[in-house]
Amino acid sequence: MADSGTAREINRRIILNLIRTCQPVSRAELARRSGLQRSTVSSIVDELIQEKWVIEGALGDVPRGRKPTMLYLNGERAGVIGINIQPTRTNIVVSTLDLHFILTESIPTGKEPQQFLDFLANRVVEIVRAHSEITYEGIGVSVPGRIDLTTKKLVFAPNLSWMGVDIRTPLEKTTGLPVEIDNAANACALAELWSNERKEQVKNILAVTVSEGIGVGMVLNAQLVKGARGLAGEFGHFTMDPNGPLCNCGNNGCWETLASNTACLRFYAQSKAQHLPSKPLSTITYDDIIKLALQNDARAVEAVQKQAYYLGLGLSMLVVGFDPEVILIVGPITRVWSLVDPIVTKTIETRVRTGAKPKIIPTDPDTQPRLVGTVAMVLAKHFGAPQLF
Ligand SMILES: [Zn+2]
Distance 57 CA to ligand 1 centre (A): 53
User: Domain holding 261: CATH number?
Assistant: 3.30.420.40
Clarify whether residues 175 and 217 are in a common domain: no
pLDDT computed for residue 197 by the predictor: 60
Question: Which residues, other chains included, contact 381 with Cβ-Cβ below 8 Å and sequence gap of 6+?
Answer: none
pLDDT computed for residue 1 by the predictor: 54
Clarify whether residues 161 and 229 are in a common domain: no
Q: pLDDT digit string (tens) for 107-117?
A: 999 999 999 99
Clarify whether residues 38 and 100 are in a common domain: no
Clarify whether residues 111 and 63 are in a common domain: no
Distance 253 CA to ligand 1 centre (A): 7
What is the mean predicted confidence (pLDDT) over 343-349? 97
Say how many residues make up the chain: 389
Give 366: exposed, middle or buried? Use CB within 10 Å, 0-12, 13-18, 19+.
exposed
Both ends of the chain: CA-CA distance in Å? 11
Structural domain includes residue 65:
yes
What is the mean predicted confidence (pLDDT) over 221-239? 93
pLDDT of residue 371 exceeding 60, the answer is yes
What is the mean predicted confidence (pLDDT) over 122-142? 94
For the chain, list the strands marked E by DSSP: 54-59, 69-73, 79-85, 89-96, 101-108, 136-143, 146-147, 154-156, 179-183, 205-210, 214-220, 223-224, 326-330, 359-362
Clarify whether residues 295 and 338 are in a common domain: yes
Q: Quick one: pLDDT band at residue 181, thresholds 50, 70, 90?
A: very high
pLDDT of residue 389 exceeding 70, the answer is no
Structural domain includes residue 389:
no
Distance 249 CA to ligand 1 centre (A): 4
Distance (Å, whole) CA 308 – CA 318? 15
Distance 373 CA to ligand 1 centre (A): 25
Clarify whether residues 210 and 313 are in a common domain: yes
Distance 236 CA to ligand 1 centre (A): 6
User: Domain holding 62: CATH number?
Assistant: 1.10.10.10
Distance 228 CA to ligand 1 centre (A): 20
Other residues' Cβ atoms within 10 Å of the Cβ of residue 32: 13
Distance (Å, whole) CA 367 – CA 339? 21
For 62-212, list the strands marked E by DSSP: 69-73, 79-85, 89-96, 101-108, 136-143, 146-147, 154-156, 179-183, 205-210
Could you tell me which of 214, 193, 197 has the C-alpha nearest to residue 324? 193
Distance 310 CA to ligand 1 centre (A): 15
- The dihedral sign for the CA sequence 266, 337, 333, 281: positive
Structural domain includes residue 228:
yes
Q: How many helices (H) and strands (E) does the chain have?
A: 12, 14
Last residue of a domain, one of 14, 40, 73: 73
Give 296: exposed, middle or buried? Use CB within 10 Å, 0-12, 13-18, 19+.
exposed
Compute φ and ψ for 330, nearest 5 degrees. Answer: -120, 130
Structural domain includes residue 388:
no
pLDDT computed for residue 9 by the predictor: 86
Structural domain includes residue 263:
yes
Distance 186 CA to ligand 1 centre (A): 18
Distance 389 CA to ligand 1 centre (A): 33
Clarify whether residues 132 and 146 are in a common domain: yes
Q: Which residues of 142-181 are buried (b: 16+ CB within 10 A; e: fewer)?
A: bbbbbbeeeeebbbbbbbbebeebbbbebbbebbebebbb
Clarify whether residues 314 and 255 are in a common domain: yes
Clarify whether residues 25 and 164 are in a common domain: no
Clarify whether residues 109 and 61 are in a common domain: no
Give 37: exposed, middle or buried? Use CB within 10 Å, 0-12, 13-18, 19+.
exposed
What is the mean predicted confidence (pLDDT) over 331-348? 97
Q: pLDDT digit string (tens) for 81-93?
A: 999 999 999 999 9
* Total structural domains within the chain: 3
Given a contact cutoff of 8 angstroms between Cβ atoms, the answer to whether 218 and 259 are in contact is no
Distance 209 CA to ligand 1 centre (A): 15
What is the mean predicted confidence (pLDDT) over 40-65? 87
pLDDT computed for residue 94 by the predictor: 96
Q: Quick one: pLDDT band at residue 307, thresholds 50, 70, 90?
A: very high
Say whether the peptide bond before residue 87 is cis (omega within 30 degrees of 0): no
Distance 120 CA to ligand 1 centre (A): 28
Clarify whether residues 109 and 92 are in a common domain: yes
Give the domain extent around 291.
Answer: 200-367
What is the mean predicted confidence (pLDDT) over 177-199? 86
Distance 163 CA to ligand 1 centre (A): 15
pLDDT computed for residue 193 by the predictor: 82
Last residue of a domain, one of 25, 56, 73: 73
Last residue of a domain, one of 73, 95, 125: 73
Clarify whether residues 184 and 220 are in a common domain: no
